[in-house]
Amino acid sequence: MKEYQQICDKIITNIEQVIVGKRMVIENTLICFIAGGHLLLEDVPGVGKTILARSLAVSSGSDFRRIQCTPDLLPKDVTGFSIYDQKTGDFRFRPGPVFSQVILVDEINRATPRTQSGLLECMAEGQATIDGVTRRLPTPFFVLATQNPIEFDGTFPLPEAQLDRFMMKLSIGYPTPTDEVEILNQVKTEHPIQTLESVINPAEILKLSQLARQVFVDPEVSKYLVEIVTRTRDHSDLVLGVSPRGSIDLYHCAQARALLLGRDYVIPEDIKELAPIILSHRIKMRSESRLRGRSGTNLIKDILEQVEVPVVREG
Amino acid sequence: MLPYIILALVSLVLGSLTGIYQFYHLTYLSLGIPLAILYIHKQGMKNLVINRRLTQERIFSGESSQVRLTVTNGGRWPIFWLSYDEVIPHRLHIPPSKQGVSFLWPGEKITVDYCLDGNRRGFYTLGPLKIEAGDGLGFLEEKMIYETGQRLIIYPRLYPLEQLGLPSRIIYGDLVWPQKIYHDPGRVRAIREYQPGDSFRDIYWPGTASLGELLVKEYESTITIENLLYINLNQQEYQLKGLEPKVELAIEVAASIAHYLITHNQTVGLVTNGIDPLQGNQSIAPGQGLDHLMEIMELLARLELAEDAPFIPLLEEYRQYYSPGSTVLMITEIDSAELMEKSLDLCRRGLNLLIIVLGDQILHTEYLNRPYTENLVILSVEHKSLGREEDIYGRGA
């Protein structure tokens, strides 16, 4: 397990050459990547969302594409389309950006619901059906979608059912003044992303994903996870609790975190650390509770404080 | 301290002149005791931990929030004497008079519980907590002000629209618009032959291939309805009789409409000529979501009457917030001729106008309670109609 921990450390250290002072965000992004999920980044422009996606793609040797969402983006602009070839008299398939391993979907809430659902189907199924033909997407397949939390004008907010498809929701946040000075020093001559090299290949990422699924989860830890999720379903501040898909995602992320930290078993601490970023975007608060200043993250943290943590013997 | 230093010096001089050792002892005592007390006092004050906790920092008008104030001696030395005085806005709570304790031992805690009554909407700052401490003997006395900037926000009440006498159906959503202003690429209306000038992005390839001629997709033209709430809080346009209830009603009507629109996934903005004592905000651009509603509610909680701030110029000033088909909802006390003239002008520009007049004195009755398909409608809301019924979250009025 230590060997895999070193591989993960190598990826994180490599990305840290580009993203300064955000180790926790990088770790969580890698957990999401290894766990086979997709990530939603909600942040203001210019904090490094694209760079994070690009550096992850470069570090893992995966190919990278970016989709800039606009209201006139069509599902076929994402998935690809068949074009008529006059020479052969037949349709030739032209793959869209979704046929890449790491995709940055910038400002996903600017795309129309139709395009959003086209993309989210690809995310859920790992395949795209174009003109009646189903095509498998490459593996690993990792989508980083971004949305701006401030600007809502002319947007199509993702409904709960579509938010549920994202394994994790993160925010990068502004760097500290010290880190920002470090960033300025780094970009003095050229951006470090230009010289970043891969430290692993996509096949190794797939192997890490498979190994993560082998990580042991004690039944008591599983019960602890389910207890947290169940409490969201009958909470008085919520209209909608966490779905079983949320439980599954938390389970897989906890396994991936254990692997990243060099363990072959999950501990309750993994669940506690990951629950706010995996569950908070899957719940829908009552308008009254939101007006009282309650937030999804705070609510999940409150539940974590209330649920009794199981004592699991190591080994 | 000065008298003790003088005493020490005098006794030192006397001791050296007379050779009586007791004078030296007096010197030590007169210097040592005050210094020891000073040291203990400084240590005690350094480790004084003050904490103020509210059960709720945002409440609705009519609710209350509990406050627990704790003053803890977290150090290893006692505090000889301490008094505290919490400054709280009188509208929230009548604070107890200055209270004090003698000897706050290490680890000891003073707890003060009190209740803040949200009788009136507003944005209230709690504190500061004024602390005075000393040795109780008059050697020294220290004053300290503890300020955290903690605030209590009291939102206006929210009522169902029916209870306010307003229609529960306000036009909203995407509408098909006769003019080709915005294309909705998600809604194809028809396929037609290619014409020079058409975008290649719009070519319908499967149809083009099967027919052997270029076909393009024709999209629906749609608009998204935006709502903009205007509140007239110009004191000169209100009658002095029943001024405060009318202003509160205006705020409550605005809050209830904003709540309704946001919870129905609509876009809503707010413009006012009232005064925001905290940030000076007079407008919030149209937006969606509960966070946006929170922003609107916070501004409504803070708003106060302005002495001389004309309302009608605002309708032009914030025209960047209008898009074709937007609904403008105005809350005012009087439907003046000038306001109606401006409203008709806005109607001609393709906007829908809903004027909500506070009270029953409507000047332009020809627009009163017209069908909602009309571009200009006047509705009347009266304070007495609210009676003592419950608000939207089940609290009695």
A76: closest chain B residue by CA = B201
* Token pair listed for B159: 């009522």
Q: What is the DSSP letter of A204?
A: H
Which residues make up the CATH 1.10.8.80 domain(s) of chain A?
213-306
Domain A2-207 bears CATH identifier 3.30.70.1400: no
**pLDDT tens-digit map of B50-69:** 888 898 899 988 888 999 98
The stretch B344-368 carries a mean pLDDT of 85
Which residues does chain A have within 8 Å of residue B224's beta carbon, measured at their own beta carbons?
Answer: 154
Say what the pLDDT of residue B297 is.
Answer: 94
Q: What is the DSSP letter of B352?
A: E
Confidence check: pLDDT of B280 > 70: yes
ipTM of predicted assembly, 2 dp:
0.70
Q: What superfamily in CATH does domain B161-173+225-390 come from?
A: von Willebrand factor, type A domain (3.40.50.410)
**CATH number given to B48-155:** 2.60.40.10
The stretch B196-201 carries a mean pLDDT of 83
Say what the pLDDT of residue B191 is.
Answer: 74
Say what the pLDDT of residue B397 is.
Answer: 47
User: Rounded to the nearest 5°, which phi and psi values hold at A261?
Assistant: -95, 10
Closest-CA distance of chain A to residue B28, Å: 52
Q: How confident is the model at residue A251 (pLDDT cuts 50, 70, 90)?
A: very high
The stretch B260-289 carries a mean pLDDT of 86
Question: pLDDT higher for B323 or B277?
Answer: B277
Confidence check: pLDDT of B224 > 90: no
Class of domain A213-306 (CATH, top level): mainly alpha
B205 touches chain A (CB under 8 A): yes
Say what the pLDDT of residue B97 is.
Answer: 67
CB contact under 8 A, B209 and A84: yes
Say what the pLDDT of residue B172 is.
Answer: 46
Listed by start position, the domains of chain B span 2-45, 48-155, 161-173+225-390, 178-223
**pLDDT tens-digit map of B81-134:** 888 888 888 888 776 667 777 788 898 898 888 888 888 899 998 888 888 888
CB contact under 8 A, B59 and A292: yes
The stretch A130-159 carries a mean pLDDT of 80
Which residues make up the CATH 3.40.50.300 domain(s) of chain A?
2-207
Torsion over CA: A260, A266, A271, A273 (sign): negative
Say what the pLDDT of residue B168 is.
Answer: 60
A109 touches chain B (CB under 8 A): no
The stretch A285-313 carries a mean pLDDT of 88
